[in-house]
Structures are given as structure tokens and as C-alpha cells.
Structure 1
Amino acid sequence: MNIRNLSALTVGTVVVTAASLWMGQQAYSWFPVQATVEAQLIDDLFSFLVVLASFIFFAVTAALLYAVAFHRAAEHDTSDGPPIEGNITLEVVWTAIPIVLVIWIAGYSYQIYDQMSIRGPMEHHLHMPMGMESAEAAPWDGLWNKNKQESETSEPAPAPAPAPDINIDTTQPINVIARQWSWEFRYPYKNVSSTELHIPVNERVHLALESEDVLHGFFVPAFRVKQDIIPKNKIDFEFTPTREGTYRLMDSQFSGTYFATMEANVVVDSLENYKNWLKQAANQKPAPAINQAATEYALTKDSPFKTGWQSVEPAAPPVVNYTGRD
């Protein structure tokens, strides 16, 4: 290899590596905010995949551009190229590299899913006992240290209000009932129910997912968690929210005509505010919630103009203590 080729290879490798790492960092901005421990794990995995994919793309593109720039045939050269046969070394290299990359990606992905306590497809999380492995193990330490450093460099936050004197066991699951087309959430505290999911921050959240009719999907983009809800099965599901705020839950499976209306707010509160909310909701008289699917279906049913499209009649609006903000 001459000096020019060696220099070009060195410079190209440095540029391609730097560009790939930059792309990996940009990948974090392509998603909603990280609101759970699982979100950080998934985003790190995705960034890793973007770095690998970018490196391959930039390397192949750079090699093509270099060949076009420095190894073109002369303007009027119409002769055949040299009769080069197979290169065993090259073939071994370009076969071994993809195998190594696939094993690397598979191993890293398995570690992420293991930390998230995701079970295999044959298990479906069915009736899993509480106490599944927490996703907090390694990444939670990093988040804690980061939050601690930020708190040390900023002004001290005001002391939180004392928590209400109510007994709440956060290890007890919140029942999530999916139906065409609404969500209902039932809490273990005094049979409180709502159409808006409230959960405490920095606590392991346990959900028991069930469907009353067809296949639905529990999906919160900011949480990076998604779970199919299979009819006639109760599915245990867990995650750990780390950021207070209001997020959007949607149905990730096409469950019929009005599935796009099947959304709900997910409110992540401090433990004190979560207890306050439960206490206030328990004092409210249950009432039918507003249901967009039922409203739209009623308008279509009463309309004199018929489209000819048949649809399943939506389930009756759930009767809950707290009807949410929508």
C-alpha cells in the first residue's frame, strides 16, 4: 500500500468514525423525552445500532467516492479489466465481520431485554408473580448520580408536602382494562377507578393488563414500553417512571373502526401527589366517562346518510370515579 492510499485510509477512518459517533448522539433527539428507566435502555441500544449502521453506510460511500476519484479508467480506455479471481482472505473477512456484528447486536439486545425483565413470546407475562427483576439495576445508579450532581449544582428544592396518612401498597397491580374503544384503570386503593392512568415517579409500577374483546396494545412512546393485550388473559407488566409529567397512552394494535380514539393520559406524579389524587378520587361518586368512540358512533347511527361501512358498536362508557382531563 502506497503512502497516498494509507493516508486516505487513515483520514477516511477517522472521519467516518467521528461522523458515525455524531449520528449516534443525534439519535437520542429523534424520540420523545425519556420518562422511564426502560427508555434510557432502549435509547442506548438504538443509538448503538445507529452508530454501527452509520459507520457501514459512510465507509461504503467513502470507498465508492475514493474509487471514482482515483481509480477511474482513462477517458478513451475501452479495454477489459484484469482477470482477477476470488480472494480467499477478502471473502473470509467480509463474511466474518457481519457474523461478529450480528452476534454483538444480539448479545447487547439480550442484555437490554433481560434488564427490562421481558419474558419470551410463549410466556406472555401471564400471571407472573410480583418481584420480577427490576430494570433499575445498572442504569438506575447512573440516573441517580446524574440527578444528584444536578441537584448539588442547583438551588435546593423546597421540601415536599407531607404525604397523606393513607396505606398504599405500590407493589399491588393497577388493573388496566382495554375495550372497544376506551381504557379503564382500577386501583387497589378503595376500588378507585379512572380513565386517566396515575402512577408515582421513581416507583416500580405493576400493571395487570386485560382485554374484554379483541387484541389491544398498551403503548406509551415516552416510556418506550409496549405490550400486546391478549383477550381472556391477564398479563403482568412492569416499568419504572423517572420523570414527572403527563404522557399519552395509545392502542398500538388496530382494534377496529374507532381505535384511533382509544387514547388516554398517563400522569406521573410524586408519591405525595399520587396519594393525594387517590384520596380525592376515592371521595368522588362514580359517573360515566366521556367516550369519543361512542359519541362518533351515535352520530353515524343517527345520520340519515349511510356509508355502507359496518362497524362494531362501541362498549358502554366506563363508570369511574375520575373521568380524566379529556
Structure 2
Amino acid sequence: MSRFIQYLLIAGYIAVLFVVSHWIGQQAYTWMPVEATTEAQKVDSLFSFLTSIGAFIILGLLGMMVYSILFFRAPKNDYSEGHPSRGDIKLEILWTASPTLLVLWIAWQGFNIYQQLNILGLGQIVHLPTSLEKPAYGLVNNDKPKPASETIEVFVKQWDWSFRYPNNVISYELHLPVNLRTRLNLHAKDVLHSFYVSEFRLQQYIVPGRDIDLVVTPNRIGQYKLKDALFSGTYFALMDANINVESLEQYNQWVTQAKQKPIAMKNHAVDEYTQPPKTLFKSNWYTVAPKQSSIANSK
């Protein structure tokens, strides 16, 4: 087969490879939960791109091996060594520069997405010696918070979540207005916890003693589930809360009604703790006894 035809086949395969890799990358959107925030769209776009790159590399390597088998097979009883590729400066630059630029671009995109989440309160704690007897500690954080239409305080402890709204309404479910930037101020009352909502593509550690802010922009009306994605004790798997994304009118109506009608919420950790043991032997491990949640949706 002439060299021209070989080059033509290679060019055709690369063209098909681009199309197939792009198609696989688009399919990656269906592998994820629904996108419920504008930030989730950026995360999924990056994931789709990485999937396309991975498919291109895998299929490209497979095609290269098949091409080598078809056109560069050694004749029978030929045990001579092939031509060495070492010393080819152009090839060395190509396979060094290409992955380096790709990794730098991926890192830059990830950094941009993280910046858009506007997570504050994670600055380094440094020692500020005011005197030899009484050292002080300060939080170094020069970030400036981005504007948000609403600020909601989020409190987490063993074993529940609670949310305080600007008019001092307290609830055990999170309500967010759609298409509006909302700042969540996260507080852990005891140990490390994690704020995780798969539809938001958001997972943030909540550190005791630090006020951590993040901004989300919900763009899909519906109900979602907030989970604690960090092991924080025996009942951490039961620490969930409903997140309701609704129109601004519905949000304002709920806040007004919640202020007037207190509602008692059920604590799943209490139900689990009060059930009789289902094992033959007790482990005698120390367990924090959960307390029944107080009245929700109240001042």
C-alpha cells in the first residue's frame, strides 16, 4: 500500500476519532444527576471535556496498535530490532508539551470553577504574637465576598441540619429562590461535617470554629437532598435535609408562613437510636445520644 493511502487512512481515522470522542463526551452529561445550579453546568462541561479527551486518547492508542499490526508486522523469522525513536527532538517536544499544556489547562479550569463558587473562610490561620504570655491567632483572608440577594445561616451538628433566614426564621429544611445568588454561611457546632448536594455539584467541608461562606445560584425548581458526606459519627448517614428550590414568590410566601406557623420536625437519628438492637452482641462503643430536634420554622 502506498504511503499516500496510509496517510489518508490516518487522517480519516483521526477525523472519525474527533467525532466519536465528542459524542462520548456529550453522553457524559447523562451520567450525572440533573444540573440544579449554574455552577453545576460549569462542572459538567469540564467533566464532559475530560471524558472526550480520555476517549480520544484510548481510541487513538487502540487505533495506533491496530495500524502497527496491519502495516508494520515483521516478516516471519525476522528477529531484528526496529528503528529506535530516541534522539528525535521533535517527538520529545511533542509528547512532553502536549500533556503539560493539557494538564495546565484542566487545572486552570478547575481553579476558575472553584473561584466562581466564592468559598470564603478557608484562609490560613497564622500565629500573631501580641505578647509572650498571651499569643493570639488570626484568620488571613483577603477575599472580598461577591454580592448575593440573600444570606442564609447553615448550622450542622450531631445529628441534624438547621437553617436561619434573614428574618430569624429557623427551619430544618433549606429553601432557596430560583435564579438568585444566595450566600450560605456554614457553621459546625461540634465536629467536622460536609455540605454535599449532588445536583449542585457541591461538596464543602464545614470546620468547627470557622465561618465558611459559599454562593450558589439555583436554576431548576424542585426538591433536592442535602447530605453529610463526611463521617462524623454513628448516625451521620441519617443526617439529611430537604432543599426546596422555588420561585421568589413561593419563597417569600413560605418565609411568611413559617414565621407564623411553627412545625416540629422529625429526627431520623432519634428514631434509629431508640430502636432495639438488631445484633446478638453489643459492641459497647461510645455513641453520642441524639437529642430530639426542637420546634422548626420558628423564631
Structure 2: which 5+ runs fail to align?
126-138
* Structure 1 residue 128: Cα displacement: 7.7
Compared CA separation, residues 81 and 131, structure 1 to 2 (3 A): closer
What corresponds to 2:215 in structure 1?
Answer: 238
Trace 1:1-326 onto structure 2 (pairs within 5 A).
Answer: 2-74=3-75, 76-82=76-82, 84=84, 86=86, 87-118=88-119, 121-122=122-123, 132-133=145-146, 171-189=149-167, 191-285=168-262, 287=264, 289-300=265-276, 305-322=280-297
Compared CA separation, residues 239 and 314, structure 1 to 2 (3 A): farther
SS at match of 1:173: strand
* Structure 1 residue 304: Cα displacement: 9.2
Alpha-carbon distance in 1 for matches of 2:115, 2:60: 32
* Structure 1 residue 88: Cα displacement: 2.7
Paired amino acid for 1:295: D
The answer to whether the 8 Å contact 1:127/1:236 transfers is no
Paired amino acid for 2:268: Q
TM-score (norm 2): 0.85
Alpha-carbon distance in 1 for matches of 2:163, 2:74: 70
TM-score (norm 1): 0.79
RMSD (Å) for aligned C-alpha atoms: 2.7
* Structure 1 residue 33: Cα displacement: 1.1
The answer to whether the 8 Å contact 1:286/1:319 transfers is no
The CA deviation string for residues 41-71 of structure 1, in whole angstroms up to 9 with x for no partner, is 1111111211222211111111011112222
Structure number with higher strand proportion: 2
Alpha-carbon distance in 1 for matches of 2:215, 2:295: 23
Alpha-carbon distance in 1 for matches of 2:5, 2:292: 73
Alpha-carbon distance in 1 for matches of 2:95, 2:175: 52
Alpha-carbon distance in 2 for matches of 1:94, 1:294: 58
Alpha-carbon distance in 2 for matches of 1:222, 1:187: 22
SS at match of 1:277: helix
Alpha-carbon distance in 1 for matches of 2:251, 2:141: 25
The answer to whether the 8 Å contact 2:225/2:240 transfers is yes
Paired amino acid for 2:55: S
Alpha-carbon distance in 1 for matches of 2:268, 2:186: 22
